[in-house]
């Protein structure tokens, strides 16, 4: 198509914070047409309606310079007047899957007749626009990785604004901000994957009914715009020194509690001073405090290192208190003193300072206890705008509360979750608010929709979470504000959230109502990558079947517009995670187009950072070295499974550039030496150094695989260079990173040149699977893998278990693989898991930070290889090995998706012989291997072995 449309916007500015803008255009259809195509994009997200009917939303995530647009075929337009209505939500900040660009909308409708363009409708200054006041801007981020939590007041904006008969004459005209091709969206490219699903899914049951009382007052303060003025990225490593100050006004002397909350990633002091009394607290801990009558000066030290510089305060006193910024009257609640020092420290391959200088002014300010003393620092004072302060933080209200009474849960309370016309009548409580816990039965990712009847002003707070213990204790994922507030208008009404969320459980609290309300239905419209139910596994072992199902469901809930690590906390495309997840996906859904999209997005990050970044496209610029290497390996695995040589040609320039960039980090000993994030596992490995063994070993394999890809497309010189680099690096590893005394690969070399004393399973595992351990050394490492020594650092995450299973299968230790899977994943099942957890060890009493984490779904891959025995022998499965193994089971059956369709396998032990039945596409050549025993095998009813 040829773009004629303009980029348009309203008067909210270039980077409006949590802006929701409506755009409308009325148009007439007077002549006959054969087809109509709508092309549309926006920064950040759009939702489009045609004649009041929802059409779609987007765009998919991408790099700003290569921004995506969507196309829709329009049908059923009215002869005469029609209206296109678009709601745009611009974040105004970066997230872990969005880089802040500029508020904007572009749209073009092309009318065709007999393949000839006969009319166009383009975005220009004639489009009407209005700020959607129903969305409250003063909210909090859903996490340090995501954008803003949704707070919607149905009374503040017309609910029929997108319909044809709505009168928009009072709205403003849009402003043209530039033509197609303007920065930052230099190039618009068509969406490269199908639209996501919209699958209505209802809860399974209402679990409880309580009467609750939330903490009396709270304030969630975004310090970022004040302390890091002009920064829109979401970079971690934000260092700041300064204070937040407020005057608390009390009508009387009184005692109460106060709690101070930072992001759980924060390295903060948790120190404050109230009326001269100093407190050293902990995150979220209630501190008993006293207020005197009149003014009470509160000074909070907000210095430290932050992923997201957000602070929350909560108070509970017998009477309501008032907060005002000193010297600013009632114009602001809080005053910032500073910053005395700020820095944003990126880990992108260069050394990062580890110390924070203490400035003279910062230390002097620590002595201040009164307003008179504070005046000396007035030149450092800045009022924190009230629009950066949220007093409707649903997550805080849902967590910091008092349970007044547990009520009997009659059956009528189940009506709200039933997919029929029944409803739950909710009566006001005597003292507090009404709280339900609703179980959806599984974790889902999607848009919440509900229908209810209520009086104006009734508040419906939805707080979403993943884990619930047997004793009823909720697992509050740290730093996750997974919430929605809806303030009702009078009467019956329906609302569908605009922001997709991941959750299993819903805490619904109804507040501020004096007459009964009705809840007709609650559901989630599951929004994941569209795919058929192709990959299948079942067997005579019920536990293994359940493990397959929760693993497969995990993969599905972590497939959105990219592969994502988890549906709740981050929803980010992590580069290293996607290596494992892609292989799992090949055996469950075969979503090659989704994997290809992810690999392409990752490749572009090499133009912003020295190496492919840890997660993309992201407002947090970061390099995790092993993840960069795993991208190289994922490209080869994609070719192995798909046979897509054209994609390898497309991606090759970035692959070659990555090899060249890595060469710049090879030291005089021939080892990879880099200052970056060196994580492999959530375990105490000794990898906080620049020379790390597992990274060197992974790079050896990645160089070999890059050489193979170079050979596929005829880059013979590169092939030889890459293979030589791999061999030289492997030699250096064995020269410098092997301990000949302990017969083990060490974790790292320290900056003083000494070898690490830490021994880990992980390091030796990677040396094994990458072929760096050979001969006598390999024999030692095999023993460490088969029977990990007790003094070694043990594997702590399912991510590394993936490689562990690969190693054990190559050693034909299938029994050890299955024992470990039954142990780890059986533990998850025992505790009601419906998806795979990020980890399995209790952390402060919780099972896991994330209860749905795709890097943990290794059984999908393992069962496809270990039981069904399906492996591509030639790229794209043109030739395939099929070697089913019962591994002690009576029967197995399943299907493996391949580019040509799928392979179906059934295998049963009948005593005298094994009955093996296989169907596969005609164009696929199969090499069938018998199960490893002496039993006769019948293949499709014929004697084969």
Could you report the per-residue pLDDT of 657-673, keeping only the tens digit for each? 999 999 999 999 999 99
pLDDT for 937 equals: 83
Place of tokens 């197995």: 892
Q: How confident is the model at residue 944 (pLDDT cuts 50, 70, 90)?
A: low
Place of tokens 């095998």: 937
Fold of 199-211+400-526: Jelly Rolls (2.60.120)
Beta carbons of 862 and 892 less than 8 angstroms apart? no
Question: How far apart are the C-alpha atoms of 584 and 799, rounded to whole Å?
Answer: 12
Question: How far apart are the C-alpha atoms of 583 and 806, rounded to whole Å?
Answer: 12
Q: How many residues are recorded in the chain?
A: 945
What is the architecture, at CATH level 2, of domain 6-134+145-190? Sandwich (2.60)
pLDDT for 842 equals: 64
Residues 6+ apart with CB under 8 A from 169: none
Question: Degrees (nearest 5) of the Cα angle 238, 240, 241?
Answer: 170
Could you tell me which CATH number the domain at 867-945 has?
A: 2.60.420.10
Residues 6+ apart with CB under 8 A from 679: 624, 626, 687
Question: How far apart are the C-alpha atoms of 359 and 340, rounded to whole Å?
Answer: 7
Residues 6+ apart with CB under 8 A from 623: 347, 348, 349, 609, 610, 611, 612, 613, 614, 676, 677
Per-residue pLDDT, averaged over 612-628, amounts to 98
Strands (E) located in 115-171: 116-122, 128-131, 150-153
For the stretch 230-242, pLDDT in tens is 999 999 999 999 9
Query: Does the pLDDT of residue 54 top 60, yes or no?
Result: yes
Per-residue pLDDT, averaged over 124-132, amounts to 98
Per-residue pLDDT, averaged over 781-791, amounts to 97
Q: How confident is the model at residue 331 (pLDDT cuts 50, 70, 90)?
A: confident
Query: Does the pLDDT of residue 945 top 70, yes or no?
Result: no
DSSP one-letter code for 594: H
pLDDT for 942 equals: 78
Closest CA to 479 of 795, 864, 141, 84: 141
Closest CA to 247 of 109, 374, 425: 374
Question: How far apart are the C-alpha atoms of 840 and 849, rounded to whole Å?
Answer: 10
Per-residue pLDDT, averaged over 317-330, amounts to 92
pLDDT for 933 equals: 64
* DSSP-assigned beta bridge partners for residue 103: none
Per-residue pLDDT, averaged over 588-594, amounts to 97
CA distances in angstroms from 753 to 117, 689, 743, 833, listed in the order given? 70, 11, 19, 46
The CATH 2.60.420.10 domain(s) of the chain lie at 867-945
Question: Degrees (nearest 5) of the Cα angle 864, 867, 868?
Answer: 55
Mean pLDDT of the chain: 96
- Taking residue 380's Cβ as centre, other Cβ atoms within 10 Å add up to 18
Is pTM beyond 0.85 here? Answer: yes
pLDDT for 477 equals: 77
Both tokens of 295, joined, read 């003014």
Closest CA to 79 of 48, 115, 127, 111: 111
pLDDT for 33 equals: 87
Q: Quick one: CA dihedral 64, 66, 72, 77, positive or negative? A: positive
Beta carbons of 397 and 197 less than 8 angstroms apart? no
Closest CA to 204 of 419, 394, 358, 41: 419
Closest CA to 221 of 383, 380, 386: 386
pLDDT for 936 equals: 83
Place of tokens 């187009």: 593
Angle between helices 542-557 and 575-588 (to 10 degrees): 120
* DSSP-assigned beta bridge partners for residue 672: 666
Question: How far apart are the C-alpha atoms of 70 and 58, rounded to whole Å?
Answer: 7
Question: How far apart are the C-alpha atoms of 920 and 900, rounded to whole Å?
Answer: 9
Closest CA to 679 of 576, 568, 758: 576
pLDDT for 567 equals: 97
| 309 φ/ψ angles, rounded to the nearest 5 degrees | -80, 70
Beta carbons of 103 and 16 less than 8 angstroms apart? yes
Fold of 536-862: Glycosyltransferase (1.50.10)
Per-residue pLDDT, averaged over 818-839, amounts to 96
Place of tokens 């906390």: 569
Strands 199-201 and 294-301, bridge-based pairing: unpaired
Place of tokens 């303060």: 221
Structural element, H or E, at residue 595: helix 592-604
The lowest-confidence range among 43-52, 258-267, 735-744, 761-770 is 258-267
The CATH 2.60.120.260 domain(s) of the chain lie at 6-134+145-190, 199-211+400-526, 216-393
Per-residue pLDDT, averaged over 362-376, amounts to 95
Query: Does the pLDDT of residue 373 top 80, yes or no?
Result: yes
Query: Does the pLDDT of residue 31 top 80, yes or no?
Result: no
Segments in 16-80 forming alpha helices (H): none
In three-state secondary structure terms, 70 is strand
Strands (E) located in 215-253: 217-222, 238-250
Both tokens of 914, joined, read 């094994």
Question: Degrees (nearest 5) of the Cα angle 678, 628, 878?
Answer: 135
Query: Does the pLDDT of residue 738 top 70, yes or no?
Result: yes
CA distances in angstroms from 522 to 19, 210, 234, 449, listed in the order given? 27, 19, 33, 6
Both tokens of 137, joined, read 């801007």
For the stretch 398-434, pLDDT in tens is 999 999 999 999 999 999 999 999 999 999 999 999 9
| 167 φ/ψ angles, rounded to the nearest 5 degrees | -90, 110
pLDDT for 115 equals: 86
Q: How confident is the model at residue 312 (pLDDT cuts 50, 70, 90)?
A: very high
Closest CA to 13 of 103, 116, 143, 105: 103
- Alpha-carbon 618 to chain mean position: 11
Both tokens of 844, joined, read 């402060």
Q: Quick one: CA dihedral 565, 559, 90, 143, positive or negative? A: negative
In three-state secondary structure terms, 320 is coil
pLDDT for 263 equals: 85
In three-state secondary structure terms, 781 is helix
Beta carbons of 802 and 829 less than 8 angstroms apart? no
Burial letters for 650-673: b for 16+ Cβ neighbours within 10 Å, e otherwise? Answer: ebbebbbebbebbeebbeeebbbb
Closest CA to 317 of 294, 277, 284, 289: 289
Q: How confident is the model at residue 30 (pLDDT cuts 50, 70, 90)?
A: confident
Query: Does the pLDDT of residue 354 top 90, yes or no?
Result: no
Angle between helices 716-736 and 693-712 (to 10 degrees): 160
Residues of the chain with pLDDT > 70, as a percent, come to 99
Torsion of CA 822, 826, 828, 829, to 10 degrees: 140
Q: How confident is the model at residue 167 (pLDDT cuts 50, 70, 90)?
A: very high
For the stretch 248-297, pLDDT in tens is 999 999 999 999 999 888 899 999 999 999 999 998 899 999 999 999 99
Closest CA to 598 of 621, 615, 620: 615
CATH of 216-393, one of 1.10.260.40, 3.40.50.2020, 2.60.120.260, 1.10.287.70: 2.60.120.260
Q: How confident is the model at residue 574 (pLDDT cuts 50, 70, 90)?
A: very high
3-state secondary structure 665-678: CECCCCCECCECEC
Both tokens of 24, joined, read 């409308």
In three-state secondary structure terms, 620 is coil
């Amino acid at each position: 198509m040829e773009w004629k449309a303009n980029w348009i916007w309203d008067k909210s500015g270039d980077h409006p914070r949590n802006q929701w803008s409506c755009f409308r255009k009325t148009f007439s259809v007077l002549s006959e047409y054969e087809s109509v195509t709508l092309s549309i994009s926006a920064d950040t997200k759009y939702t489009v309606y045609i004649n009041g009917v929802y059409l779609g939303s987007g765009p998919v995530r991408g790099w700003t310079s290569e921004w995506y647009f969507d196309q829709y075929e329009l049908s059923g337009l009215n002869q005469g007047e029609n209206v296109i209505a678009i709601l745009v939500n611009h974040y105004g900040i970066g997230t872990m899957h969005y880089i802040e660009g500029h508020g904007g909308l572009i749209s073009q409708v092309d009318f065709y007749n007999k393949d000839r363009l006969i009319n166009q409708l383009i975005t220009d200054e004639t489009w009407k626009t209005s700020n959607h006041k129903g969305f409250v801007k003063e909210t909090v981020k859903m996490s340090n990785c995501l954008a803003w939590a949704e707070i919607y007041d149905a009374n503040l904006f017309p609910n029929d604004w997108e319909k044809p008969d709505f009168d928009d004459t009072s709205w403003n005209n849009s402003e043209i901000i530039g033509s197609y091709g303007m920065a930052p969206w230099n190039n618009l490219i068509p969406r490269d994957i199908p639209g996501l699903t919209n699958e209505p899914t209802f809860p399974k049951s209402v679990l409880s009914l309580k009467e609750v009382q939330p903490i009396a007052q709270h304030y969630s303060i975004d310090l970022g715009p004040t302390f890091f003025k002009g920064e829109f990225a979401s970079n971690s490593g934000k260092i700041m020194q300064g204070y937040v100050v407020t005057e608390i006004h009390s009508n009387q002397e009184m005692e109460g509690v106060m709690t101070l909350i930072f992001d759980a990633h924060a390295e903060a002091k948790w120190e404050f001073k109230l009326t001269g009394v100093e407190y050293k607290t902990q995150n979220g801990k209630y501190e008993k405090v006293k207020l005197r009558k009149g003014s009470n000066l509160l000074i909070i030290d907000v210095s430290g290192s932050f992923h997201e510089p957000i602070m929350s305060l909560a108070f509970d006193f017998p009477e309501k208190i008032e907060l005002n910024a000193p010297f600013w009257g009632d114009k602001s609640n809080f005053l910032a003193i500073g910053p005395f020092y700020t820095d944003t420290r990126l880990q992108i391959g260069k050394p990062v300072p580890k110390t924070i200088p203490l400035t003279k002014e910062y230390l002097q300010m620590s002595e201040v206890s009164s307003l008179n003393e504070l005046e000396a620092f007035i030149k450092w004072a800045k009022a924190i705008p009230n629009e950066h302060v949220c007093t409707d933080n649903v997550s805080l209200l849902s967590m910091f509360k008092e349970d007044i009474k547990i009520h009997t849960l009659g059956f009528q309370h189940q009506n709200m979750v039933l997919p029929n016309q029944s409803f739950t009548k909710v009566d006001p409580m005597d003292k507090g608010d009404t709280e339900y816990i609703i179980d959806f039965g599984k974790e889902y990712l999607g848009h919440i929709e509900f229908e209810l009847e209520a009086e104006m002003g009734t508040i419906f707070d939805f707080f979403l979470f993943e884990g619930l213990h047997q004793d009823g204790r909720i697992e509050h994922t740290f730093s996750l504000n997974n919430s929605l507030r809806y303030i009702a208008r009078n009467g019956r009404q329906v609302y569908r959230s605009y922001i997709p969320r991941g959750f299993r459980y819903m805490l619904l609290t109804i507040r501020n109502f004096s007459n009964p309300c009705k809840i007709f239905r609650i559901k989630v419209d599951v929004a994941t990558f569209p795919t058929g139910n192709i990959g299948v596994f079942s067997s005579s072992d019920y536990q293994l079947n359940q493990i397959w199902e929760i693993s497969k469901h995990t993969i599905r809930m972590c497939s959105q517009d990219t592969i994502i690590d988890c549906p709740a906390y981050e929803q980010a495309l992590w580069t290293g995670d996607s290596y494992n997840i892609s292989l799992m996906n090949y055996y469950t859904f075969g979503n090659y187009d989704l994997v290809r999209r992810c690999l392409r997005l990752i490749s572009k990050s090499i133009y912003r950072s020295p190496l492919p970044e840890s997660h993309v496209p992201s407002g947090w610029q970061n390099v995790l070295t092993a993840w960069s290497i795993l991208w190289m390996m994922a490209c080869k695995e994609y070719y192995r499974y798909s046979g897509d040589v054209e994609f390898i040609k497309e991606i090759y320039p970035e692959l070659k550039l990555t090899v060249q960039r890595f060469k710049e980090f090879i030291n005089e000993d021939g080892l990879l030496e880099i200052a970056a994030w060196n994580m492999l596992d959530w375990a105490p490995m000794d990898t906080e150094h620049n020379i790390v063994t597992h990274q060197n070993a992974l790079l050896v394999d990645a160089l070999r695989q890059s050489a193979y890809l170079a050979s596929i497309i005829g880059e013979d010189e590169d092939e030889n260079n890459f293979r030589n680099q791999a061999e030289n690096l492997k030699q250096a590893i064995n020269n410098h990173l092997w301990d000949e005394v302990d017969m083990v690969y060490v974790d790292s070399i320290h900056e003083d040149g000494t070898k690490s004393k830490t021994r880990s399973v992980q390091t030796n595992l990677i040396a094994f699977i990458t072929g760096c351990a050979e001969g006598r050394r390999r024999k030692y490492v095999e023993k460490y893998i088969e029977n990990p020594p007790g003094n070694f650092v043990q594997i702590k995450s399912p991510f590394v278990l993936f490689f562990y299973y690969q190693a054990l299968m190559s050693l034909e230790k299938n029994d050890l693989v299955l024992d470990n899977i039954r142990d780890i994943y059986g533990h998850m099942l025992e505790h009601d898991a419906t998806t795979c957890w990020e980890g399995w060890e209790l952390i402060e009493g919780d099972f896991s930070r994330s209860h749905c984490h795709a890097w943990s779904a290794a059984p999908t891959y393992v069962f496809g290889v270990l039981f069904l025995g399906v492996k591509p022998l030639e790229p794209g499965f043109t030739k395939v090995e099929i070697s089913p193994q019962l591994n002690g089971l009576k029967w197995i059956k399943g299907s493996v998706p391949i580019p040509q369709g799928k392979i179906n396998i059934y295998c049963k032990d009948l005593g005298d012989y094994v009955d093996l039945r296989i169907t596969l596409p005609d164009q696929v050549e199969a090499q069938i291997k018998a199960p490893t025993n002496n039993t006769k095998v019948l293949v499709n009813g014929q004697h084969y072995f």
